[in-house]
Structures are given as C-alpha cells and as structure tokens.
C-alpha cells in the first residue's frame, strides 16, 4: 500500500499536478495539506475521473486538508479530540481551523495534518502550535495499539540536520526546543517516523521559494509520516519526489511517499 503526503499549496492551482503524481507513483492514498479551498469549491472532478475518492475539510481560502484514496474511506473525522482553535484576538471565539482530516482505509486510521506554523516565538500562534501538538500527542497515545498514521506538514525540523544551516534559524520557529519537545512527545506516545531511514540522500521536504533555495539545495525536513508500532513494522520503503519540486510552478513542499506491506482491499474483505 503506497501512502503519500504533500503540502500542495493550493489544490485548485495544482490539481493536475496531483493527478499526475497519483499516476506516476500509483499512489493508493494521497494526503494533501494547505489546499486553500472550502469544501464546496474543492476540485473533485479531476480526481474522481481517475478513480479516487475525495475526503476534504476546508472552511475558506486558508489552511485546508484532504485525503484522496483509491478505496472508499470509512470513519471520516474532521478534527481530533481536544484539537484547539485559534483567533488572533484572544477575546473572540477560538474556532477550530481546517487543519486535520482522517479516514480509515484498509484498516488504517490515516490523518492528513497541517500543523500551525507558529509565525514568531512571541506570537500567540506559537502557543497555539504547541497546544495543537500536545493535544495530538494525547490523542495518539490512546491509539498506538491500532494501525494509526499521522502524515503531513508538521512545521518542525526535529533535528539540526533537518535544516541546511542552523544559523539563519536561531531564535525563530520550527527549530526551538519547545517545538522539538512537542514533536518528541508524539514519538514518546508510541509513534515511529517511518520515512527518515529510507531518505537520507534526498532528505529535504521543503524549499522556500525565496533566494533560489531549491537550486542551492538549501532545504528543510518538516513533512513526516508517523506510524504506530503495528503499522511501522510493515513499512518497506520511502522516497522523496524531488523531480516534482523541480517542476514549473510547483509547491514549495516535496511529496513524501511510503510503502507499507498491507493487504489489498479484496484481501482484507
């Protein structure tokens, strides 16, 4: 079973690129983040025409997540228990944003997640990011005996080697100790990041559009696939599709793909 995650940075802009990606890698499940579209305007047709079911959660032109699957999804959720909300004004309702969606496919509970960016370490958004991760870890802690997969854009570089150069990031988000500790909480909850050991050569999953970062190979590893132990044991390989990032008008993120030894739909039925 091939599962991929990709921060697409606008699904309406890159729907055909996603269709091509599905065909190129024969992907069973593609998790998308930052779709930037409300559900009513999600471009379902191109995906349905090539045989994929669309599960999406978008409220407006910001954030947004989706799961595209060959098989019909079950047990769809558009938030995880305890997921916090956010509004820049603390006096207003802190409503949940469209940052999480899950579906059960072939017995696996798959989440497409767009973790808050954090903006600046003095911003309320930074605290929101940490709260989001703490709540996610508490949820995962009670699910790790089943087949659980958390995929997506985590907006954290857990190790110094996950950025091309630490010096530009000193005092900024994505590399702070609180963020890294929050990511470690997910691992301590019983999750295993399953792509890293297969992708040491092509390890970056994000290149800023600015300053020719991609051309200079100045990237970051901030997209991950975190699996519960029963599922992590089934991983067979992973890859980062750098060719997609090299394309014209592509996303600033790179598709991250993992293969799991999971029976096909007919077998599990």
Q: Which residues are annotated as part of the binding site for Mg(2+)?
A: 7, 34, 153, 155, 252-253
Catalytic annotation on 253? yes
d(CA 36, CA 64): 5
Which region holds residue 37: left if phi is over 0, alpha if psi is between -120 and 50, else beta?
beta
Catalytic residue among 131, 153, 162, 241: 153
Catalytic residue among 128, 206, 253, 259: 253
Burial class (CB in 10 A: 0-12, 13-18, 19+), 127: middle
d(CA 211, CA 239): 25
Catalytic annotation on 52? no
Catalytic annotation on 165? no
Which residues sit in the known binding site? 7, 34, 153, 155, 252-253
Catalytic residue among 114, 128, 139, 206: 114
Which residues does the annotation mark as catalytic? 114, 153, 253
């Amino acid at each position: 079973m091939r599962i991929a995650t990709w921060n697409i940075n606008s699904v309406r802009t890159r729907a055909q690129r996603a269709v091509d990606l599905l065909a190129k890698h024969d992907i069973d499940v593609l998790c998308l983040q930052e779709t930037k579209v409300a559900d009513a305007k999600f471009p379902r047709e191109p995906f349905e025409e090539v045989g994929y079911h669309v599960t999406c959660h978008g409220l407006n032109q910001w954030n947004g997540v989706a799961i595209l699957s060959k098989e019909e999804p079950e047990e769809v959720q558009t938030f995880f228990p305890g997921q916090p909300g956010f509004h820049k004004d603390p006096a207003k309702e802190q409503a949940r944003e469209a940052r999480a969606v899950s579906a059960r496919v072939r017995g696996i509970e798959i989440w497409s997640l767009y973790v808050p960016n954090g903006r600046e370490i003095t911003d309320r958004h930074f605290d929101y990011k940490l709260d989001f991760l703490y709540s996610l870890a508490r949820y995962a802690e009670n699910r790790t005996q089943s087949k659980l997969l958390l995929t997506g854009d985590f907006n954290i570089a857990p190790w110094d080697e996950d950025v091309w150069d630490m010096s530009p990031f000193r005092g900024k988000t994505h590399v702070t100790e609180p963020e890294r500790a929050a990511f470690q909480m997910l691992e301590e909850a019983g999750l295993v990041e399953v792509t890293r050991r297969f992708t040491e050569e092509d390890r970056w999953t994000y290149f800023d559009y600015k300053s020719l970062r991609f051309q200079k190979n100045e990237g970051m590893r901030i997209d991950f696939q975190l699996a519960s132990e029963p599922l992590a044991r089934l991983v067979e390989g992973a890859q980062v599709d750098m060719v997609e990032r090299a394309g014209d008008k592509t996303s600033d993120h790179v598709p991250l793909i993992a293969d799991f030894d999971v029976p096909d739909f007919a077998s599990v039925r």
